[in-house]
Amino acid sequence: MANDQRIGIIGAAGRMGQMNIRQVTETEGCIIAGATEGPGNPALGKDAGELAGVGALGVALTDDAAAMIANVDAVIDFTVPEATVETARLAAQAGAALIAGTTGLTPEQEEEIVKAARHIPVVRAANMSVGVTLLAALTEQVASTLGIDYDIEMSGGLKSMLFGGEGIFLATLSGTGSVWIQSLPFNRLLDRIVAAMPVPGSKNDKDD
């Protein structure tokens, strides 16, 4: 429909990329408008919806991320640090919102995401699972609001994080005050983001 938010997917042929395609197609008010993969990927030219098992969407995978991002309202990237930093740069140039769930970014790479967030809406979380999002948000919000001491410890190994769906962080906090917790699963978080985004218009409108 005319007012649907146009969403682009980076790394669309991967496991997380396909999951994001399925999630977007299930989210009211959103459509897949672009999808990319790296040069030489065998999925290039294939339909994004067919790869994700949701049926043909009429969106073929391309390796031109810049052109794709320039044609969407928001881009989702759950790939690798170097690619996500480039996605953030391109999204900032194009005025497209960014949802980044990539893990393993260095402090310098995280700073590049912060720079992009000065120009565009950015949702950044290394793990979108309910437990991790809740505990990480708890720690960050308490620490930033109250200025208290905190310590974070990972519990469990890579197997539980990758295949169990929950990478757990144990947070030790001290202090008093109000705590705001973001514990929404990815589908509901995406719904909230869509509701808060402006009605699609010209790219110039996004700069106002």
Q: Are 121 and 91 in contact (CB under 8 A)?
A: no
Per residue in 112-136, pLDDT (tens digit) is: 999 999 999 888 876 655 444 544 5
CA distance 162 to 140: 23
Q: Average the pLDDT over 162-181 and give the result.
A: 46
Tokens of 90: 């391109």
* Pairing outcome for strands 168-173 and 150-155: antiparallel
CA distance 198 to 80: 29
| CATH 3.40.50.720 location in the chain | 5-127+185-206
Cα-based distances in Å from 123 to 5, 88, 97, 114, 128? 16, 11, 8, 10, 10
pLDDT band at 31 (very low <50, low <70, confident <90, very high): very high
Residue 46 confidence (pLDDT) above 80:
yes
Q: In the beta sheet, which residues pair with residue 168?
A: 155
Which superfamily, per CATH, for 5-127+185-206?
A: NAD(P)-binding Rossmann-like Domain (3.40.50.720)
pTM for the model? 0.66
